[in-house]
Amino acid sequence: MLKSYETLRTAIAASHVLLVTLNRPEVANALNTQMGRDLLDLWTSLIAEPGDLRCVVLTGSGDRAFCAGGDLKERNGMTQEQWVAQHEIFERQYWALLDCPLPVIAALNGHAYAGGLEMALACDFAYAVKTARFALTEVTLGIMPGAGGTQLLPRAVGERRAKEIILTGKPFGAQEALEWGILNKLCEADTLMPEVLATATTIAANAPISVRQAKKSMVYGMQMDLRTAFRFEIEAYNRMVGTEDRQEGIRAFNEKRKPQFRGR
């Protein structure tokens, strides 16, 4: 049973695939306190009880923006205590997204600025429309990226490129984002969701324990020295040896048929 949220739409878009849509189009899907709470609840629920879901697609409503970042109208006049309390909610939802065991694909239907770009960077990978633009504009507003931007962007584009993007706050286009490693693919507006859902469906058809363990190995292994990461990889690998899905995969290969994975 899918939960109902004030600022999000959720729907089963394909077999085992959850589509999550940021739903504040009147303000370019800007992140306000309620959206932070909704996203925190969503990601925490998927961590604890994913059920039969195997992949998530995250997009924005409308055709203008994926997410414009923090809602500056809501923040206007906030006290320091109110700002810090709100940002704590934001931080926790970003970290919960990073901790989600299911692959999360960003389908960037439009511009992604500031916290919106940080949200895209926190996903496992991203497709975008060709007209999308991107920026981390925080230094132009008297703050700095505070939801992973100073850490995730250098890992995607390299340190020197990230310094230029963050310290200037200047926007850049989708083609540059593709060339620099922020995006995996550019799409026409009318093909974005079909292409993302095709990829999500391919992932969801694979053995779910294998997919989750492989994601975990990459995410945590990248934070280790190489030798330790090799050992972590083998521990993750060994988790699959005794599974029904591993046996089904071998049987299906030898019987020349498509495997039917059950996540066991």
Amino acid (1-letter code) at residue 2: L
Tell me how long the chain is.
264
Q: Which residue has the tokens 């906030």?
A: 78
Q: At what angle do helices 208-221 and 244-254 cross, to 10 degrees?
A: 110
Q: Is 159 a catalytic residue?
A: no
Q: At what angle do helices 226-241 and 244-254 cross, to 10 degrees?
A: 80
Q: Which one of the listed residues 138, 164, 176, 235 is annotated catalytic? A: 138
Between the alpha carbon of residue 11 and those of residues 14, 18, 49, 100, the distances in Å are 9, 6, 16, 18
Contact yes or no for 67/94 (Cβ under 8 A): no
Q: Is 49 a catalytic residue?
A: no
Contact residues for 231 (Cβ-Cβ < 8 A; gap 6+):
none
Q: What one-character DSSP code corresponds to residue 4? A: P
For residue 97, give both structure tokens.
Answer: 């997204």
Q: Which one of the listed residues 81, 118, 188, 195 is annotated catalytic? A: 118
For residue 71, give both structure tokens.
Answer: 């809602």
Backbone Cα Rg of the chain: 19
Contact yes or no for 249/206 (Cβ under 8 A): no
Residue of 89, 73, 67 lying closest to 22 (CA atoms) = 67
**Which positions are annotated as active-site residues?**
118, 138
